[in-house]
Structure 1
Amino acid sequence: MLADPAGLLAVAIVVAVAVIFGFGIRETFAPVASLKAISLDPALLPDYAVRTVLRMLAAMAASLLFTFVYGTFAAKSRRAEIVLLPLLDILQSVPVLGYLSFTVTFFVKLAPHWVLGLELASIFAIFTSQAWNMAFSFYQALRTIPGDLDEASRAFRFSAWQRFWRLEFPFAVPGLVWNMMMSMSGGWFFVVASEAITADRQQIALPGIGSYVALAIQQENFSAIVWAIAAMTVVIVAYDQLLFRPLVVWADRFRVEQTAAQSVPHSWFLQSLRHSRLIALATRPVTRCLHGLLRVRFLNLRPDTGRTLAGTKLSRLIDVIWYASVAAAAVWIAVVIVRYVAGGTGRGDLVTVLRLGSITLLRVVVLITLASFVWVPLGVMIGLRPKLAERVQPVAQFFAAFPANLLFPFFVIPIVRFGLNADIWLTPLMILGTQWYILFNVIAGATAFPTDLLEAAKTFRFRDWQWWRVVMLPGIFPYYVTGAITASGGAWNASIIAEVAAWGHHQLYAHGLGAYISRATAAGDYPRIVLGIAAMSAFVVLFNRLLWRPLYALGERRFRLD
């Protein structure tokens, strides 16, 4: 007998998913003329859901590739770091609408007569909501690799290729998996903006749940909103059980510890895959190929002998040239932006964006503080209990993925009816883009926390605040800072949605930089779009440089597992 019932079930699921995705991919290469108007017929939601998930998975693949390349360069090159980290701060602060304002035309021109061009524009928009926190997580992991593991890799004379796949990637996997889940949820949060947008007066409405939700909001159709929520729930539970829960179980093998964990996560689908002989036969050639690649001494660079170039005259000269080049490039970019913005705005606009940016900054600080007090203890509790994490994971993903647009009726209608202050009552919408980065990263930190250190803390009878101060907070500190940095960027990004709410003909605007950029985007006012994005980027970079980066350095210096 080739397989047991569980194995046959796994094969059936894999084949069914492949067939469904094959159908969705075929639609991607159809002519633009074949696109139909979005309908609120619930029978079309399965097709819309498949198209949306395909875009999100494609963006996830691109985000992983970006993470490995960008995070590695930022962590290993001090010269590259001074450019890549501030650039990452800027990239995560630029709102999705800001990217789409300038990239939709480019992607459409790549395939002007095919749906593929529009799909690429949507995938890129989702990519911009997924990649940054994954890159931060990978960078943080590479900078906090335990010293004994680093010395062991040097003793075994690993090549750069072997070191990456045998040490750096495995060490980063636990945190990266949870950030992948957060990134997938972040894609849902901006799915309406990525599928149903107006940029430069060009309407784009691709088949998907985001376009469905946008149309339901426009027509004030509550029943369609309910159907969309139901479809989202089914999809999130499905990819949690078939993708992320198996990844969490697989990532558990890479925890850094000297004693076995008392409880481990479980995945019925992964267990079924492991018991399926058909799956084993089908994947055996791929497995052998991957194992062979891991043994290749690719990039076999000369190991570090302890004598670095940092103190040589040549190194100092290279540093001077590099820093001068970076400064010159920054000045040139700033001059270009100033000239472009000055052609379509006035001095009053600069004062306006600084004032509105300060208001949005206040919202971000308050929300991050509140989210930290709530989700740090809860994240630790979930991360230390695999069974609880197994039950909470799909629920957390659902709420993290919940688009703020679906909550507009519950905010707009009471605000309009009772004459409430939009500046105050629209602010809670921003927390949807803030709290989950902190929660998922804290869970990742608690999950990766060595069991032997927990047992040592129990032996020394650490209790209450002493346990938090001496054991847990130092252990999760690098993960929390990563979550807080990405939460800051996510909150700024969410301001585009949270400070502008619509339900049918009702339009509400809160005072803030997000509303300023949203209005400029809708009007196709590129000088003001650039001014708003530049101001937002400046706020985020200064905030990260003055607060989060020093905390990052503290985590690398004092709270790494050595």
Structure 2
Amino acid sequence: MFWTLGKGVMALLLAAAGHCVLLSLAACSTGLRRALAGVTAILGEIPSLCLVGLFCMVMTPFWDVVAVGCFSLLVRSVHATLKAETGIPSSFLKTARALRLGRWQGFWRLHIPFAFPELVRSVLRDLPDFWLRILGGELVLALFLSHTPSGLGGALLSALKTGGELSACGVLLLMLVPVLLVQHGLIGPLRGYGRHYAVCDQMQTQRLEERSVSWKRRCLLGGAGTMLTMILSWGFWGIPGPLGALVVAVCLVGGVWGWLGGLLLGAPVQVQKRIRKACLVVALFPVFMVWLGLSVPVPLNVMPALAVMGITGWAFLREADVAGRQFIVMGHHLRLPLWSFWKDVRLPLLCPPLLQAAVVALPFFWDNVYLAALLERKTLHLRILQAHAYSVQGILLCLMTLMAVSVRWGICIPLQERMAHRYRI
């Protein structure tokens, strides 16, 4: 437990230090800031567990897991910070110029406070994936490098090899200890500090950029790119592979939150907040490790969908429009038929936040898909972590990244933008 806790804390501290360094560089010039935003947007799409083998070539197992846990948290938080600063009102920028604030002072005194609430949200969104990278990285290293101490992930694998269900349950309970310690010791104070900038967060306007009707073309291109990447990836995983996990996730998560989310749209605000907190707890719980430790009779392809169920619900309830509750209440008073009520009221309120929640859950989903495929084809992937298999690891990394980029930017984001404009109230 102490190995895993040390890796988690070290990864968070390195991410915080790297965040300050990169933002200090971004404060030097506007061009560097734009370039850094573009680079972090691309790097943030990489499924981090694919980097375990590459980092293992040049690092010890301890720092390998730390680097994997730190990488995505760093690039996604930096991208969220640089993206959120674009919402600063022009009057504030004019005031800063009138006060003759330098470039460095203006960035840290004006841009960062406005971006801080989005930074806190990005850290919260990445927490489930962060712990999956730590625990999953330990499990992968223990699977292929059995002579190295790998923390709780390695302890779970050792308990499974000895056939001890009771030992596996003890390891699963111990996994919650570092999660809770980091949540209350680091994340809780960060959220409390972020409330100081709530005024800045409220002043940012939601600017929905009007796009042309090319969203259909982007969806077609994204779908074609996804299918092509899936076909190429079958050489590593076979059929159904990642495509089967994606289809199951769309049907299962979309069905559950399409029905449950539609019912929760009319619930009181306090009820939604409690359910949102419960969803975050479920998202932080190591669902994949429970499947391994307790031998749950659920197919392996279903596990990525179950793993992202909590983070999808948390993001959906956070993005749901509270003002839309008045339309639900009005529909009840008008006694609309059930089908008309769902088609004309609930679905227009449901689609935009549900697609936005899918965009938030995608990075966590791809790491779960990679871990599921790795455990299913252990003998095939034995060469992935070998030091001389540079080409194999590079191809696998490119395939997973192309898959993530195609689904996110070619399918989910165009659909989310289309629904946001179509059902904007």
TM-score range, shorter chain: 0.5 to 0.7
Q: 1:388 to 1:438 in 2, by over 3 A?
A: closer
Equivalent of residue 160 in structure 2, options 196, 217, 226 = 217
Q: Which amino acid in the other structure matches residue 92 of structure 2?
A: S
Q: CA deviation at 1:391?
A: 7.5
Equivalent of residue 53 in structure 2, options 101, 111, 124 = 101
In structure 1, distance between residues paired with 2:407 and 2:325 = 35
Q: Which amino acid in the other structure matches residue 518 of structure 1?
A: H
Q: 1:426 to 1:216 in 2, by over 3 A?
A: same
Q: Which amino acid in the other structure matches residue 441 of structure 1?
A: A
Q: CA deviation at 1:124?
A: 0.2
Q: Which amino acid in the other structure matches residue 358 of structure 2?
A: A
Equivalent of residue 44 in structure 2, options 70, 85, 88 = 88
Instruction: Give the aligned length.
Output: 378
In structure 2, distance between residues paired with 1:74 and 1:359 = 43
Q: How does 1:60-459 map to 2 (within 5 A)?
A: 60-61=15-16, 64-65=19-20, 84-89=40-45, 91=46, 93=47, 95-96=48-49, 98-108=50-60, 118-128=61-71, 130-131=73-74, 133-134=76-77, 137-138=80-81, 141-142=84-85, 145=87, 149-157=88-96, 159=101, 160-161=103-104, 164-165=107-108, 168-198=111-141, 203=146, 205-206=148-149, 208-252=151-195, 254=198, 256-257=201-202, 352-353=234-235, 356=238, 359-368=241-250, 370-375=252-257, 378=261, 385=269, 389=273, 393=277, 396-402=280-286, 404-411=288-295, 425-446=299-320, 454=323, 458=326
Decide which structure has the larger Cα Rg and report it: 1
Are residues 1:539 and 2:413 paired? no
Conserved 8 A contact 1:186-1:401: no
In structure 2, distance between residues paired with 1:224 and 1:516 = 26
| Partner SS for 1:205 | coil
Are residues 1:489 and 2:382 paired? no
Gaps of 5+ in 2: 204-230, 332-340
Conserved 8 A contact 1:383-1:389: no
Deviations along 1:27-50, whole A, 9 cap, x unmatched?
Answer: xxxxxxxxxxxxxxxxxx4x4454
Conserved 8 A contact 2:127-2:284: no
| Partner SS for 1:106 | coil
Equivalent of residue 520 in structure 1, options 376, 383, 399 = 383
Deviations along 1:97-150, whole A, 9 cap, x unmatched?
Answer: x32222223234xxxxxxxxx43222102124534554564465445x2xxx52
Conserved 8 A contact 1:382-1:443: no
Conserved 8 A contact 2:276-2:314: no
In structure 1, distance between residues paired with 2:350 and 2:110 = 24
Deviations along 1:154-200, whole A, 9 cap, x unmatched?
Answer: 23235555555555544444444343234232232233343354499
Q: CA deviation at 1:257?
A: 4.8
Q: 1:397 to 1:375 in 2, by over 3 A?
A: same
Conserved 8 A contact 1:236-1:397: no
Q: Which amino acid in the other structure matches residue 120 of structure 1?
A: W
Conserved 8 A contact 2:69-2:134: yes
Q: 1:387 to 1:125 in 2, by over 3 A?
A: same
In structure 1, distance between residues paired with 2:232 and 2:150 = 39
Q: Which amino acid in the other structure matches residue 44 of structure 2?
A: L
Q: Which amino acid in the other structure matches residue 88 of structure 1?
A: G
| Partner SS for 1:107 | coil
> Which residue in the other structure is 1:309 paired with?
none
Q: Which amino acid in the other structure matches residue 132 of structure 2?
A: F
In structure 1, distance between residues paired with 2:188 and 2:24 = 26
Q: 1:540 to 1:156 in 2, by over 3 A?
A: same
Q: 1:428 to 1:245 in 2, by over 3 A?
A: same
Q: 1:438 to 1:142 in 2, by over 3 A?
A: farther
| Partner SS for 2:410 | helix
TM-score, normalization: structure 2?
A: 0.67
> Which residue in the other structure is 1:54 paired with?
9
Q: 1:77 to 1:53 in 2, by over 3 A?
A: closer
In structure 2, distance between residues paired with 1:498 and 1:388 = 32
In structure 2, distance between residues paired with 1:166 and 1:368 = 42
Conserved 8 A contact 2:138-2:154: yes
Q: 1:490 to 1:184 in 2, by over 3 A?
A: closer
In structure 1, distance between residues paired with 2:130 and 2:402 = 24
| Partner SS for 1:153 | helix
Q: 1:459 to 1:388 in 2, by over 3 A?
A: closer
Q: CA deviation at 1:402?
A: 0.6
In structure 1, distance between residues paired with 2:44 and 2:309 = 20
Conserved 8 A contact 1:434-1:490: yes
TM-score, normalization: structure 1?
A: 0.53
In structure 2, distance between residues paired with 1:440 and 1:135 = 22
Q: 1:182 to 1:471 in 2, by over 3 A?
A: closer
In structure 2, distance between residues paired with 1:140 and 1:444 = 19
In structure 1, distance between residues paired with 2:268 and 2:106 = 29
**CA-atom RMSD, angstroms?**
4.8
Gaps of 5+ in 1: 1-44, 109-117, 259-348, 416-424, 502-507, 510-514
Sequence identity, in percent?
15
Q: 1:382 to 1:391 in 2, by over 3 A?
A: farther
Q: Which amino acid in the other structure matches residue 217 of structure 1?
A: L
Q: CA deviation at 1:226?
A: 1.6
